Amino acid sequence: MATELRYKENSSCIGDVASTKKRPTTSTKENLLNAMSDDPNLPSLGGSISYIIQLSSSEDESIRQLSHFILSDVSLAQKILSLSNSITFRTSSTQAITSITKAIFLLGFDTVRTCALAILLVDGMMSGKRAEYVRTELIHALAASMIGRELARHSQFKDGEEIAVAALFKNIGRLLLAAHDHDKYEAMMACIEQGTHTPEQASMHVLGFSLSDFTETILEKWNIPAIIIQAIKNKSAGTLNAPKNKQEWMQQATELSDKAVPLIVKAGESGNLELENKLLVRFGKALDLSKSKLDLLINDAAEEAAALQVNANLLPAVKNGKISADMKDIELHLHDGEDVLAELILMDTAADDVQVVQRYPSGKPHNASVLLSVAVQDVAEMMVANNYKLSELIMLILEHYYTSLGFRFVTLCLRDEQKHQYRARSSIGRNDPEYLNAFCFPAILSTDLFYLAMARDIDLFISNAVEPKVRELLPPWHQNLLPDTRSFIVLPLTFNKKPIGFIYADREFAAPEGITPEETRLIKTLKGQILTALNLK
């Protein structure tokens, strides 16, 4: 049974809708609301979505928070990096993107945030659900989001990419219905496919309540900002005029993103020309769209949607041992293009070489020197571009220390002259606010390991922190704050022979394998890059 949504005018089956008002209007809704609470994935999914949406691309702290959130989920981090290195999303750089911070720098904060939201939605909703219907709605959501992203690129409004988020969640009510009441979902979609009901009329006819209103309820429960919730409301029927403000534009763009999805997921079907004409009649004047502009927009969005679906592991449905022809075509088109270009691109480092394939018991990757070498190139590339923020560069370096050497926590500590103390400023890994606030100590003369390293400007590597000679040099604040540390490094940062801070990184396991001379050279090079950046900025 075909399950795509088609564009319908609000004119059919008014009698049917009126006749259903006598039906109970609470049981199905209550069941869905209860399912939201009972489903082990949904409460945490809602919290994660709310957290990411409320991060602002205009704040330096948000870059750190988004990087940390993605890195704390190994599966999410791998999918974001895979997507960043796909032909569709990759920038002009020929070097493999190996860090989340670099992905944010090259692709943009909003792009990485939107893709992370899409991947979280897929991961949270696919687990243990009716795969066929849920997959259909997830594909719809991802395609709508990419159409919204393309519309945002050509928008005059600031932060226009919010519509990519609104479009992603516009069908969340239908998605939950597909996951938790597939019989009613099937009945509702049958009404739409038969052409007797609009989506809104079909939900009233089958469910006894408005699924659009229910979607708003879900988003409110997830603490989604009001501007996004308002954006999912459809305007009245007919030809739309140019928007008077950003909110009205968001409503128009989000509705178009949702209704244009069949142009992507059912590309080439005969009914698409009729759909395209209806979309142009309704949205052409309002969004300055011609047929050529719409075709270009859909083509670009289709490529991005295909890349996102593949890298989110949203695999095509399997029926009777056969892969859905539509998704197979999209996926093969994507991979064919990548395979051909991959043979022609001049690469500094093979992509396989920058993957962690094996680790020591401490957590350190066996190919740490290769990873560190890529890190130095990444940082140099960003510094040459000279359009970076200092916070972005610092996060990139800390993330590379974190991933290249397998640390659990890395932080940059700087001296606060007014308070006469050293305090953690930026960090990757363990990120408890109380923990970070406690990572500070007075800038007074001492004989502990940290002061000796800064006073003599020597880089330290401790392979086993419980050895008596090492413990004797550990300050009380470190023993109290990090009692389970077994190996760590301290890299002093000095300027004109004056300590300005240090980089600290640790593991909870001893590291008898040590650090090779080549790894040492690259670690020092990264430290030199962060000193240069601090002095320049």
Above 80 in pLDDT, residue 178? yes
Query: Is residue 446, in this structure, part of any structural domain at all?
Result: yes
Most confident region among 148-157, 175-184, 275-284 by mean pLDDT: 275-284
For residue range 486-513, list pLDDT tens digits in order: 999 999 999 888 999 999 999 999 999 9
Confidence bin at 415 (pLDDT 50/70/90): very high
Higher pLDDT, 6 or 275: 275
Q: Which residues contact 206 (CB under 8 A, 6 or more apart)?
A: 184, 187, 188, 191
Q: Whose CA is closest to 39, among 177, 180, 223?
A: 180
Q: Which amino acid, residue 281?
A: V
Distance CA 206, CA 213 (A): 15
- On whether the CB atoms of residues 338 and 87 are closer than 8 A, the answer is yes
The mean per-residue pLDDT over the stretch 479-491 comes to 94
Residue from 376, 381, 380, 398 nearest 491 by CA: 398
| pLDDT tens string 256-284 | 999 999 999 887 677 788 999 999 999 99
250 and 163 Cβ atoms separated by less than 8 Å: yes
Domain-embedded: residue 420? yes
Residue 354 has what pLDDT? 60
- Mean pLDDT (whole number) for 64-68: 86
Given this model, what pLDDT does residue 94 score?
54
15 band by pLDDT with thresholds 50, 70 and 90: very low
- Enter the pTM of the model: 0.76
Q: How far apart, in whole angstroms, are the C-alpha atoms of residue 152 and residue 171? A: 19
Statement: residue 107 has pLDDT above 90: no
Q: Which of 183-197, 263-277, 332-346, 475-489 comes out lowest in average pLDDT?
A: 332-346
The stretch 217-225 carries a mean pLDDT of: 90
Number of domains observed in the structure of the chain: 2
Spatial CB neighbours of 72, under 8 Å, sequence gap ≥ 6? 431
In a domain, 379, yes or no: yes
Q: Are residues 164 and 305 in the same domain?
A: yes
Per-chain mean pLDDT for the chain:
82
Instruction: Kindly give, in sequence order, each residue whose CB lies less than 8 Å from that of residue 264, ignoring residues fewer than 6 positions away.
Output: 143, 146, 147, 298, 301, 302, 305
The two structure tokens encoding residue 78:
């791998």
Q: Are residues 441 and 506 in the same domain?
A: yes
Average of per-residue pLDDT across 143-151: 94
Q: Can you tell me the distance from the alpha carbon of 214 to that of 10, in angstroms, rounded to the nearest whole number?
A: 19
184, β-bridge pairs: none
Question: What per-residue confidence (pLDDT) applies to 390?
Answer: 87
Closest among 136, 138, 135, 103 to 118, alpha carbons compared: 138
Q: Are residues 323 and 455 in the same domain?
A: no
Q: Give the per-residue pLDDT at 315.
A: 55
Residue 133 sits in which domain range?
Answer: 14-341
62 falls within a domain: yes
The arithmetic mean of pLDDT across residues 86-115, rounded, is 81
| CB burial of residue 189 (10 Å; 0-12, 13-18, 19+) | buried
Q: Are residues 292 and 382 in the same domain?
A: no
Q: What is the mean pLDDT of residues 25-50?
A: 78
Per the domain annotation, does 360 fall within a domain? no
With cut-offs at 50, 70 and 90, classify the pLDDT of residue 38.
confident
| Burial class of residue 162 (count of CB atoms within 10 Å of its CB; 0-12, 13-18, 19+) | buried
329 and 375 part of one domain: no
Of the residues 341, 358, 387, the one at which a domain ends: 341
Residues 316 and 379 reside in one and the same domain: no
Mean predicted confidence (pLDDT) in 208-218? 90
Residues of the chain with pLDDT > 70, as a percent, come to 84
Regarding whether 423 and 326 lie in a shared domain, the answer is no
Separation between Cα atoms, residue 362 and residue 444, nearest integer Å = 33
Q: Do residues 446 and 298 share a domain?
A: no
Report whether pLDDT(399) > 70. Answer: yes
Q: What are the structure tokens assigned to 252, written together?
A: 């128009």
Least reliable range by pLDDT among 44-58, 286-300, 362-376: 44-58
354 inside domain: no
Residues 278 and 318 in one domain: yes
Q: Show which of 292, 322, 341 is a domain's final residue.
A: 341
The CATH number assigned to the domain holding 452 equals: 3.30.450.40
> 210 and 335: one domain?
yes
Give the pLDDT score at 475.
93
* Phi, psi values for residue 49, rounded to 5°: -60, -45
**Residue 327 — pLDDT band, cuts 50, 70, 90?**
very low
Amino acid at 271: G
Q: 406 and 337 in one domain?
A: no
- Residue ending a domain, among 341, 376, 391, is 341
First to last CA, the chain: 60
pLDDT at site 513: 95
* CATH number of the domain residue 335 falls in: 1.10.3210.10
Q: Is residue 405 part of a domain?
A: yes
Looking at mean pLDDT, say which of 77-86, 129-138, 144-153 comes out highest.
144-153
Higher pLDDT, 311 or 368: 368
Kindly state whether residue 9 falls inside one of the protein's structural domains.
Answer: no
| DSSP-derived secondary structure for 161-177 | THHHHHHHHTTHHHHHH
Amino acid at 278: K
Task: Scan for tokens 């890195």, then name that residue.
Answer: 71
Residue 258 and residue 309 in one domain = yes
